[in-house]
Amino acid sequence: MTGQIIGYVILGAVLLLLAIMIIRALALRKPERSCSEYTPADIDRDALSNKLQGAVRIKTVTLPDNDADGSIFFEYQKYLETTFPAVMAAAEKTNVNKYAVIYKVAGSDPELLPAAVLAHQDVVPAEPEGWEVDPFGGVIKDGYVWGRGSQDMKSQMIAALEGLEILLKEGKKPRRTLLFCFGHDEELRGTYGALEISKYLEAQNVRLEYVIDEGGTILDGKLLGIDNKIALVGTCEKGYADFILEIEKDGGHASAPTRRTAVGLLGEALYRVEKKKMRPFWTQPTKEMFKALAPYMNFGFRLALANRDILSALLKPVLCLVSPFTNCLMRTTLAPTQAEGASTPNTLPGVARGTVNARINTGETVEEVRAHIQKTVGNHVKISTLEGSIDPSPVSDTDSEAYKLLAKTIDEVFNGYIVAPYPFIAASDAKHYYRLTNNVYRFTPFEKTVEDANRIHGLNERQDIAQLAQGTQFFKRLYENTLY
């Protein structure tokens, strides 16, 4: 009888726990949408696409260093200054560290903290081989502007400027000051551009109400059991590091190989790094993301996320397996990207080197990742870190008025898409601005197809003109909600 009683007790406890879990899932409620009136602005798509076309045609490829000739960036700035006459007539221009630039449009109320809109002038290189069009021709066809930088990120820059251009031409002067901060080396970590701009503003005792940069994205919610689109706002970004793994062995002729070669040992080390993944864990921004999304999920997903604390041991590995995207949210990722041995095929190199690219999760550091790799590969492998490594950024405030107004703007312009914070898994100039505000957000207001997103930094990059117009509507509405 005692065993039977224990069985009943266990069964009762399980049923009670299950009931509690179900009640917690059912208790999740979608927040009510605001009922503000919003009418999308009429956008002249032909004129807008022509503005992006002209921007793409100026070949602002990232400089190798700040001592190189960057006169092309002055040409690009001159183009902006003639293309957006109302903005530039109201703006005060300041060049920082040669080629970075601030356009300050003063508001009527000096008591309000300024807002900052970021974009980078530079683009990655593009050779014509494999392109359907000249990569710097700014060709318009099939409803797209084609060319390097058309997505990354001259489109966002043009949309941001055009949004204010429209308002100023309507005679609407902002109450809050707006700073357009355009770096020139984002593709090389932003140390000459965005970092120097933020230092300059700090020296001027500037504090900011908010910063918005490229980053967040719009996804199909079906991946997470949601029958709607999800607009993700990056509230932080992962750290970044490139680790060099180096192995020294006796070199010589490949006809008489040693028992273990440098290249063989390197391959083994890279395999171990790829196999021995870093632990998944719940970060603050990941928790905030799933908390915001859970009420919209189907019941199975909602049951799991509402009881994350109970099901954590199961959920973490599942999310790591669902997709590369959810895996990136849960852990630091380590990706072997390069390997180097001898310069000729019949030589045993004395040194073999490989590169591991790390995107470091909030709560971990470059040094912790280096230690993990060293433990994984053993002390016979020398590990060094390339210049430009950086720990994860701080996490921005999602309870601020700035975030709420950003979310409101997205809801209005994208007609009810679900807004959620998330940890941006790549890198942006925004990480350099936390010295000026904790309201640093990343959102790209273009609904890209997977195919077009994969063209960024690749062949046949192009920007959908309809999305360019909607992005302009987004910035115009953001200004109306936050500057006026």
pLDDT tens-digit profile of 8-43?
667 677 777 777 778 877 877 888 777 678 888 899
Residue 290 lies in a domain: no
CA gap 364, 340 in Å, rounded: 29
- How many C-beta atoms lie closer than 10 Å to residue 178's C-beta? 23
26 is a domain residue: no
Residue 58 shares a structural domain with residue 141: yes
Output Rg (C-alpha) for the chain, integer angstroms.
Answer: 25
Last residue of a domain, one of 390, 417, 437: 390
Classify residue 406: in a domain, yes or no. no
Domain boundary among 390, 413, 437: 390
- Structural domain contains residue 18: no
Domain residues for the domain of 457 are 45-215+426-482
Q: Which residue has the tokens 């679900």?
A: 418
Q: Are residues 369 and 249 in the same domain?
A: yes
Give me the phi and psi of 423, to 5 degrees please: -85, 115
- Asked if the structure places residue 405 within a domain, the reply is no
Taking only the tens of pLDDT, the chain with its 484 residues reads 577 777 666 767 777 777 777 887 787 788 877 767 888 889 999 999 999 999 999 999 999 999 999 999 999 999 999 999 999 999 999 999 999 999 999 999 999 999 999 999 999 999 999 999 999 999 999 999 999 999 999 999 999 999 999 999 999 999 999 999 999 999 998 999 999 999 999 999 999 999 999 998 898 999 888 999 999 999 999 999 999 999 999 888 888 888 899 999 999 999 999 999 999 999 999 999 999 999 999 998 888 888 988 888 989 998 998 888 889 999 999 999 999 999 999 999 999 999 999 999 999 999 999 999 999 999 999 999 998 899 999 999 999 999 999 999 999 999 999 999 999 988 899 999 999 999 999 999 999 988 999 999 999 999 999 999 999 999 999 999 999 9
Q: Do 132 and 252 fall into the same domain? A: no
My answer on whether 119 and 56 are in the same domain is: yes
Are 193 and 60 part of one and the same domain? yes
Q: Phi and psi (nearest 5°) for 39?
A: -120, 120
Shared domain check, 136 and 50 = yes
208 and 83 fall within a common domain: yes
CATH code of 246's domain: 3.30.70.360
DSSP-assigned letters across all residues of 279-328: PP---HHHHHHHHHHGGGB-HHHHHHHHTHHHHHHHHHHHHHHH-HHHHH
Report the largest interatomic distance among the alpha carbons of the chain, rounded to a whole angstrom.
Answer: 90
How far the first Cα of the chain sits from its last, in Å, is: 75
Q: Considering the domain boundaries, does residue 24 fall inside one?
A: no
| Tokens found for residue 191 | 């140390």
Residues in the chain: 484
Q: 309 lies in a domain?
A: no
Q: Which residues are catalytic?
A: 122, 186
Instruction: Establish if 321 belongs to a structural domain.
Output: no
* Cα–Cα dist 412/404, whole Å: 12
Q: Are residues 431 and 343 in the same domain?
A: no
The residue out of 344, 368, 390 marking a domain boundary is 390
Q: What is the pTM of this model?
A: 0.91
Amino acid of residue 101: V
pLDDT score recorded for residue 418: 95
> How is the beta sheet containing 140-141 ordered, strand by strand?
140-141, 144-146, 462-464
Of 296, 294, 286, nearest to 417 by C-alpha is 296
What is the CATH classification number for the domain harbouring 454? 3.40.630.10
Structure token pair of residue 303:
């049951």
CA atoms within 13 A on the CB side of 165: 20
Q: What does the pLDDT read at residue 7? A: 66
Tell me 61's DSSP state: B
Domain match, 198 and 258 both: no
95 by DSSP, 3-state: which? strand
Give yes or no: residues 144 and 201 share one domain: yes
Same domain, yes or no: 118 and 263? no
Instruction: Mark whether 86 and 131 lie in a shared domain.
Output: yes
Q: How many folded domains does the chain comprise?
A: 2
Tally of CA atoms within 13 A in the half-sphere of 392 that contains its CB: 28
The CA angle 443-448-454, to the nearest 5 degrees, is: 105
